Structure 1
Amino acid sequence: MQVGTILPDHGFKRGKKVDAGKTKTLYRVKGRPDLLWVENKDKITAHDKKEFTKSFDTKAGYATNTTCRVFELLEAAGIETAYVCQVSPTAFICKRLDMIKLEVVARRSAVGSFTDRNPHLQKEKGEEPHRFHSLVREFFLKTSNGNLSVNGEPLVKNLRGLVKDPDTKKFKMGIVDDPFIPDPYNELGWALVNPKLPKWHEKYDLGQSIDPRFVLRNQTADLLKIDELLRKIFYVLEKAWAVLEMRLIDFKLEFGYDMAGNLVVGDVIDNDSWRIRLFDWTDYSKQAFRDGENLDEVERKYGYVSRLANQFRIPKQVIVFWRGSDKDDCFDKIRQEIESQAKGTIEIVDIVLSGHKKTDKSLKMLNSIMSKYLGGGFIITNVGRSNGLGPIVSAHTSWPVMSIAATFESDPNDIFSSINMPSDTPHTATPYGKLAFLSALNHLSLNNPVAYMMRQNVIESLDDQY
């Protein structure tokens, strides 16, 4: 499933300007109060300071292409977003959202402000950053010049604390924006702390707190939903970039409520939103600009990332469930779970055909399946007392084949017909159907962002962060 389309006959007409920020302008869409027209600018910013704002002629186009390809990939993976369609090289249409005043960050590696707050994880220059086996998720309150008002109600006023000078790297007193929320699930209130200081620092606490009910409609439920979406989005993009030999280090997202009350990811997800690096750890994101690289080099990197985003895809893959008889177990429960989560991106094909009795027909069927699914697949054979099907299929395909020893519990010796294989016949076996299907997902996840999302979401839910 390839992503990437500009709709020349979209039928949308740009209306009056609603708002303008540093990198984009928002317009109404004529006749559609539920939509917004988002026009990107050629500006690139750093450190929230005007003197660090620059521009290059291709920035708006690169940003639009990247964010549209990202949203299309997420939609293809079954993740609902605010995105509707791209309408020009520098503009796209999205649902109008009631934006939540939070920036939510997911981190695979310890870099940036995280190491400011956790200096024990800082590495020397040239060393690989600490990798988190489970994603670290963090919440920051969106403020502007140290202030935040919601519906005319001032929530944060003149937030001040120690800030790091981008030139000297030394701390001095100043306006603090986007404070860290260390305990977002605390219903009694959100304490706001300095995002650049460790918790043992005497200036860590900024001395202000807010009632989360002014920010979220349903605190616990909304935070859980945001966390679920955040993880799924990260896993999909992490694998999509890994397939293209890039590392997704971290990203920040924003969420909002659509007019039906659904909580979805909004704003943009582009090269300003994440840290992304080559496998040799060379940075290709906005961090290169923050670090002072030449603007021509920054533009080249943005173009490279934009072109790579055009290659995002979800391969057409299959799990083949092959039985010798229609009386054999179908393992409906695990299959339904996979089909429900995969949203049509992974097909499960049933074959009822005896490898023993109809070998020639079985091999023709195998050839047909391999011809149809160019993205590859995984074959599960459900076999009984004497496994002929598994070895026959294994010897004639480069796809992995795993047999379920269906009679293992009544006769454990039956599994040996699935283990003692002839030469050049790579084959695995398990007594348990669910494990076979999970093994299939593990294999497909090597180059399938959806399969990776499904497995990684379960795997990391078992772990403590370390």
Structure 2
Amino acid sequence: MNLFYTDAPGIKLGGLVIEGKTKRVWEILSEEKPSLVFVESKDRITAGDGVKAHDLTGKAKISNATNAKVFQILNAVGLKTAFVKSAGDTAFIAERCQMVPIEWVSRRVATGSFLKRHPGVPEGYRFNPPLQETFYKDDANHDPQWSEQQIISAGFSFNGITIGKDEVDYMRRATICVFEVLERAWKSRTCDLIDMKIEFGVNDKGEILVADVIDSDSWRLWPSGDKRLMKDKQVYRNIVGEVTQSHLEEIKRNFEWVAEQLDHLAPSPHCMVVILMGSPSDEGHCKKIMDSCRALRLPVQMRVTSAHKGTADTMSILAEYEGSGMPVVFIAVAGRSNGLGPVLSGNTAFPVINCPPVTADNVDRDIWSSLCVPSGLGCTTVMYPEAAALAAAQIHGLHNHIIWSSLRVRQLNTIASLKAADKVVREK
């Protein structure tokens, strides 16, 4: 079967790879990128391992929009996912993966099936950190819960990668990371992410990626933390008896609400880092700070000003950013007698970080100049450009879910790199 998909001109489809209850996956015929697939959503809603199922006109479009917005957030903060781009109203393009047949579930609040499996735990019990559970995908046996030991013992192998302890550990950590990133995002809309499930696949390069679909079938969402206001598929699961058209319209409205709310969670951080250098000779040091900021998705600008030689200009620059209406962190780069950082700190309520351009010859003098500031000033001092960027990101991350998420994913990737290096050394 070879066809062009009309909603996405230029995309030529090959054979059907797999069809599930709510989606179809097609080959994409391309000499340049043969490792991509076309994932098409259906106007179908199901529950109870497919026992309960109904057509829901418009669901495919809503699901596809929701999925695209979620994966755009995950990709923007540095998570490794299979999602590439949208392809029309009801489909998207993804990296072709061999799927790990495990559902990875994260829970912040005890509810639903957890209560049935753990009698005595009250509904609303909070898990800190989030609880992570795994379930083997097997509709006939109602997706039984599996332990880490069962997953490892199964000996799954996909695209040359055997799923062992290291791989399970990465997926477990990544599952919690995905949950916390989206939890933080939803919290910015006063909505609680209660629990969610994701899946992983292994691409042709042997990389483990967050894959499949993340939409309103994947999670529980309670606006204002109130279960009675739930906007997820649980509304459908809870219907006893006949499912009426009125029920289906309510569910569709809920799913539309979710997709609309995601528009407000787009990865466009509303904040700024301003690097002020006391001399153009410090530009090389400042560029290192700028590069580290950009790696953390921080918008950043550089300026040249001297608190000693041009105090009025320094105050003018300060006023410019204070009046921008944007949260700002200032990084002061000045050596010798560092007046820049203290002058900024004494004249703004925004955070100021000193990062002097030290060398082996002046490290003791320049660091002391930045540390020994007059009383009543709160500017902090770090030695390295990356440390200045990280400190600025941590400040902005308190109120910006995109920056916080970039830091969280950075932690995950650092651990993954260390474990990969350990595996290489271990297997020599």
TM-score, length of structure 2 as denominator length: 0.76
Q: Which residue of 1 aligns with 2:423?
A: none
**Cα distance change on mapping 1:88 and 1:437 into 2, 3 Å:** closer
Deviation at 1:137, TM superposition (A): 2.2
Q: Which residue of 2 aligns with 1:180?
A: 145
The 2-side partners of 1:305 and 1:234 are apart by 16
Checking the alignment, whether the CA contact within 8 Å between 1:408 and 1:415 is kept in structure 2 is: no
The 1-side partners of 2:50 and 2:167 are apart by 32
Q: How does 1:278-317 map to 2 (within 5 A)?
A: 278-281=223-226, 282-292=229-239, 294-314=247-267, 315=269, 317=271
The 2-side partners of 1:137 and 1:353 are apart by 51
Q: Which residue of 2 aligns with 1:27?
A: 26
Checking the alignment, whether the CA contact within 8 Å between 1:384 and 1:414 is kept in structure 2 is: no
Alignment of 1:140 onto 2:135:
yes
Alignment of 1:356 onto 2:308:
yes
What is the letter of the counterpart of residue 70 of structure 2? V
Alignment of 1:266 onto 2:211:
yes
Checking the alignment, whether the CA contact within 8 Å between 2:86 and 2:92 is kept in structure 1 is: yes
Q: Which residue of 2 aligns with 1:14?
A: 13
What is the letter of the counterpart of residue 286 of structure 1? K
What is the letter of the counterpart of residue 180 of structure 1? Q
The 1-side partners of 2:214 and 2:94 are apart by 13
Q: Which residue of 1 aligns with 2:78?
A: 78
Q: Which residue of 2 aligns with 1:429?
A: 379
The 1-side partners of 2:9 and 2:401 are apart by 29
CA-based RMSD: 3.8
The 1-side partners of 2:260 and 2:291 are apart by 36
**Cα distance change on mapping 1:23 and 1:9 into 2, 3 Å:** closer
Checking the alignment, whether the CA contact within 8 Å between 1:143 and 1:178 is kept in structure 2 is: yes
Q: Which residue of 2 aligns with 1:254?
A: 199
Deviation at 1:23, TM superposition (A): 1.0
What is the letter of the counterpart of residue 171 of structure 2? I
Q: Which residue of 2 aligns with 1:3?
A: none
Higher relative contact order (CA 8 A, sep 6+): 1
Alignment of 1:211 onto 2:154:
yes
The 2-side partners of 1:458 and 1:88 are apart by 32
**Cα distance change on mapping 1:110 and 1:432 into 2, 3 Å:** farther
Checking the alignment, whether the CA contact within 8 Å between 1:381 and 1:401 is kept in structure 2 is: yes
* 3-state SS in 2 of match to 1:107: strand
What 5-or-longer segments of structure 2 have no aligned partner? 1-5, 241-246, 357-362, 416-428
TM-score, length of structure 1 as denominator length: 0.70
* Residue deviations 1:189-222 (CA, integer Å, cap 9, x gap): 559xxxxxxxxxxxxxxxxxx5234576141232
Q: Which residue of 2 aligns with 1:227?
A: 172
**Cα distance change on mapping 1:21 and 1:211 into 2, 3 Å:** closer
What 5-or-longer segments of structure 1 have no aligned partner? 1-6, 124-128, 147-176, 192-209, 422-427
Q: Which residue of 1 aligns with 2:42?
A: 41
Checking the alignment, whether the CA contact within 8 Å between 1:103 and 1:142 is kept in structure 2 is: yes
Deviation at 1:368, TM superposition (A): 5.7
Q: How does 1:414-425 map to 2 (within 5 A)?
A: 415-417=372-374, 419-420=375-376
* Residue deviations 1:406-453 (CA, integer Å, cap 9, x gap): 989986996451x425xxxxxx33354577655422332244333212
The 1-side partners of 2:347 and 2:373 are apart by 21
Checking the alignment, whether the CA contact within 8 Å between 1:319 and 1:378 is kept in structure 2 is: yes
**Cα distance change on mapping 1:9 and 1:144 into 2, 3 Å:** closer
Alignment of 1:401 onto 2:352:
yes
Q: How does 1:161-176 map to 2 (within 5 A)?
A: none
Checking the alignment, whether the CA contact within 8 Å between 1:121 and 1:130 is kept in structure 2 is: yes
> Which one has a larger percent helix, Structure 1 or Structure 2?
2
The 1-side partners of 2:290 and 2:270 are apart by 17
Deviation at 1:297, TM superposition (A): 2.1
Deviation at 1:255, TM superposition (A): 0.8
**Cα distance change on mapping 1:385 and 1:16 into 2, 3 Å:** closer
What is the letter of the counterpart of residue 10 of structure 2? G
Checking the alignment, whether the CA contact within 8 Å between 1:386 and 1:414 is kept in structure 2 is: no
Checking the alignment, whether the CA contact within 8 Å between 1:441 and 1:452 is kept in structure 2 is: yes
What is the letter of the counterpart of residue 97 of structure 2? L
**Cα distance change on mapping 1:47 and 1:312 into 2, 3 Å:** same
**Cα distance change on mapping 1:232 and 1:337 into 2, 3 Å:** farther
The 1-side partners of 2:34 and 2:407 are apart by 39
Deviation at 1:46, TM superposition (A): 1.6
Moved more, 381-390 or 114-123: 381-390
Q: Which residue of 2 aligns with 1:444?
A: 396
The 1-side partners of 2:105 and 2:289 are apart by 32
The 2-side partners of 1:269 and 1:233 are apart by 11
The 1-side partners of 2:151 and 2:64 are apart by 34
The 2-side partners of 1:414 and 1:95 are apart by 50
| Percent of matched pairs sharing the same residue | 29
The 2-side partners of 1:130 and 1:115 are apart by 10
* Residue deviations 1:61-113 (CA, integer Å, cap 9, x gap): 11011001111222222223212222221122222211111111122223333
**Cα distance change on mapping 1:375 and 1:289 into 2, 3 Å:** farther
